[in-house]
Amino acid sequence: MKKATFILFFCLFQQFIFAQKYQYNDFMKTWNFIKYYHPDVASGKIDADSLFLTTLKNISSKDDFNSVIGKLSQNLNKNFKNQAPTETSKDVLTKNQNFDWFQKNGKINSENKSFLNSIYNHRYNFELLKEGKSVSDEKKYSLPKNENLSSEYRLLTLAKIQGTVDYLFPHKYIMDKGFDEYFKNVLDENSKITSRKDFEIVLAKLVSKFKDSHSFSFYKQLNYKKDIFHGNYLAPFDFQIVDDHILVTKLIFPEICSKDQINVGDRITSINRKTIPQILKEKGELLSTSNTEKLVYMLSKYENNLIWTDDLQQKTLEVKSAKTNKKFSTKIDMIDASNKEKYDLIVTYLQEKIKKRENRKINNNDIAYFKINHTYQFINELSDDKIDTVMDSIVSNAAQKKAIVFDMRAYPDWGGFVNHFIYKYFSPTENYFYKYYAPNLKNIGTFVYLDDSSHYFTQIKDKKTHQYQGKVFILVNPESQSASEWYTMSLQKIFPQSLTIGQQTAGADGDLVKVNLPGDYLLEFTGNGIFYPDNSQTQQTGVRINELIIYTDQDFLEGRDLEFERVLNSFK
């Protein structure tokens, strides 16, 4: 009898949780719709967060979709005076906007469907926002970092992420098709959370679904990131992920590595019985990157320390020896990050490694070499009245060379270099090298093509074009992200003969938008749609590459720069 009673209670509880999951989803879908379209809520006359928190208290397991809509709208104006703003653009990205969730929902009565349609048909025009205000503006909620958020603030956080996806993220249509269903499961998982760490795992997984390299940095804001990503210990060796293994590239602490039989060139095929592909899959579910190439690149960065799978100081590794080509198992002692002496040695090693990378360049009298994050140095100590003269001289001297190399494997330190001076000297007046879709303030959730020339090239009086006949190489890799990708596209257009060589770029081309979330979290994502003029995708895909360069284990071990070698070999 007791067993039967327990089973009945358990089934009823599961039904309650299941029902509540869908009620909360219905509630959030409706709230976000009202938040971005209802004239009084979207304008800020009625505070959207207060509406959420107040109404949430009245949502119960007995509510159906109609009662949820009724409770959210009971104090809202239903008699609208102004029609929706007239759409004037001929090119609007509408792929993301889908109201099937209520328009084709048999559970919603005709009265509520009519009400929601009426809100949309009388939607707020965000062009009326006060100067300095943005559609992505959200309240800040500073809550204790070591305490779990209350249920209502967790739900508010999740709702804001859902709204960001539905109304602000231009690339929802290339996210995994199952996001909406996944979100419902997140609501179920959220109902069982008992700690801040568990909630941050839920957040990390949810943000990873953006598949946007701009959102990668979200993990850095997690209060429990060291626990979630097992970052309390550091490897005694440097490494690089290559295909299905981790390649040991440098022994930072040779004595530890020697004791545990680890040598440069060894291939680690598993960590604590998890293969490297399994680990990559797990990490990809916690980190947002636009493509696998970017994920591997970020996990290969020693300083990120994101590759490990548990909190044990000793790891069991399956290794293929570089010396004998035989497989063996070993236990490696990791470095405690709290050990200041050893940590300082690691910092020194990384500083030298980064310095060496930053100092790499091509020295050849026939080649003009520009590193995109080292261009501000040209004008750093110049007065404004001398900048044009100096830069014109630098660019005209480059034009006399047999080849120009633009190394885009970093983030630009000065936009004026490509956008003004390279364009000014080499480009035809019109340089429509991309299509720019910005949030459509007349119809949030859609994105409008900006055709004004000011978004594409600088207006320069009496501009003269100098057609360059030499070779042009554009070097890219996963470090090429956002503005670096954008300037790469511009260079590709300015120099039709250019060869873009390297690896797939970050696939996050467009302005960075930031949304505050409760708990002092900041959600960053790509806020505009950037396409090639023929509408080819750049988000997730990255820029076009003429020659894909693939590094082997030996290339990494020898510290080669294959892109440089490719450029220099073109003169042999």
Q: Which domain holds residue 478?
A: 357-569
Q: Provide the pLDDT confidence category of residue 21 given band limits of 50, 70 and 90.
A: low
Mean pLDDT along residues 298-320: 97
Tell me, yes or no, whether 342 and 377 share the same domain: no
Tell me, yes or no, whether 248 and 290 share the same domain: yes
Q: Residue 327: phi, psi to the nearest 5?
A: -90, 145
Domain C-terminal end among 356, 386, 413: 356
How is 528-557 classified by DSSP, letter by letter? SEEE-TT--B-TTT-S--SEE----HHHHH
Residue 424 CB neighbour total at 10 angstroms = 20
State the DSSP code for 419: I
- Given a cut of 80, is residue 7 above it in pLDDT? no
Structural domain includes residue 316: yes
Model's pTM, two decimal places? 0.93
Q: Which H/E stretch holds residue 461?
A: none
Which whole-number Å values give the CA distances from 364 to 187, 369, 473, in the listed order? 59, 9, 14
Q: Letter for the amino acid at 393? A: S
Domain C-terminal end among 356, 384, 409: 356
Mean pLDDT along residues 436-462: 92
Residue 169 CB neighbour total at 10 angstroms = 26
- Given a cut of 80, is residue 454 above it in pLDDT? yes
For residue 20, the model assigns a pLDDT of 63
Tell me, yes or no, whether 349 and 365 share the same domain: no
For residue 458, the model assigns a pLDDT of 86
Residue 550 CB neighbour total at 10 angstroms = 9
Residue 328 CB neighbour total at 10 angstroms = 12
Tell me, yes or no, whether 508 and 425 share the same domain: yes
Mean pLDDT along residues 279-290: 98
Domain C-terminal end among 330, 356, 382: 356
Residue 537 bridge partners (DSSP): 531
For residue 271, the model assigns a pLDDT of 98
Give the helix ranges, DSSP H, for 286-442. 292-299, 340-358, 384-398, 416, 423-426
- Given a cut of 60, is residue 313 above it in pLDDT? yes
Radius of gyration of the chain (CA): 27
Mean pLDDT along residues 145-154: 93
Closest CA to 211 of 438, 541, 540: 540
Mean pLDDT along residues 419-428: 96
Q: What angle do CA 551, 553, 556 make, to 5 degrees?
A: 65
What's the pLDDT tens digit per position in 36-85?
999 999 999 999 999 999 999 999 889 999 999 999 999 999 999 999 99
Tell me, yes or no, whether 341 and 367 share the same domain: no
Tell me, yes or no, whether 383 and 352 share the same domain: no
Structural domain includes residue 444: yes
Tell me, yes or no, whether 257 and 381 share the same domain: no
- Given a cut of 60, is residue 111 above it in pLDDT? yes
Tell me, yes or no, whether 272 and 335 share the same domain: yes
Tell me, yes or no, whether 449 and 427 share the same domain: yes
Residue 59 CB neighbour total at 10 angstroms = 18
- Given a cut of 60, is residue 517 above it in pLDDT? yes
Q: What angle do CA 175, 181, 184 make, to 5 degrees?
A: 120
Q: DSSP 3-state assignment of 128? A: helix
CATH number at residue 510: 3.90.226.10
Domain count, the chain: 2
What's the pLDDT tens digit per position in 348-361?
999 999 999 999 99
Q: Average pLDDT, whole number, for the chain?
A: 94
- Given a cut of 50, is residue 401 above it in pLDDT? yes
Mean pLDDT along residues 543-552: 98
Helix, strand, coil: what percent of the chain each, to 5? Answer: 40, 15, 45
From the centroid of its chain, how far is CA 163?
17
Q: Which residue has the higher pLDDT, 263 or 456?
A: 263
CATH number at residue 318: 2.30.42.10
Structural domain includes residue 464: yes
- Given a cut of 70, is residue 288 above it in pLDDT? yes
What's the pLDDT tens digit per position in 164-210?
999 999 999 999 888 999 999 999 999 999 999 999 999 999 999 99
Tell me, yes or no, whether 366 and 338 share the same domain: no
Residue 317 bridge partners (DSSP): 271, 330
Tell me, yes or no, whether 283 and 388 share the same domain: no
Q: Provide the pLDDT confidence category of residue 462 given band limits of 50, 70 and 90.
A: confident
With b meaning 16 or more CB within 10 Å and e meaning fewer, what string describes 96-133? bbeeebbeeeeebeeebbebbeebbebbbbbeebeeee
Q: Could you give the dihedral angle defined by the CA atoms of residues 395, 397, 403 and 407, in that order, rounded to the nearest 10 degrees?
A: -40
Q: Which two tokens stand for residue 229?
A: 């990503």
Tell me, yes or no, whether 519 and 389 share the same domain: yes
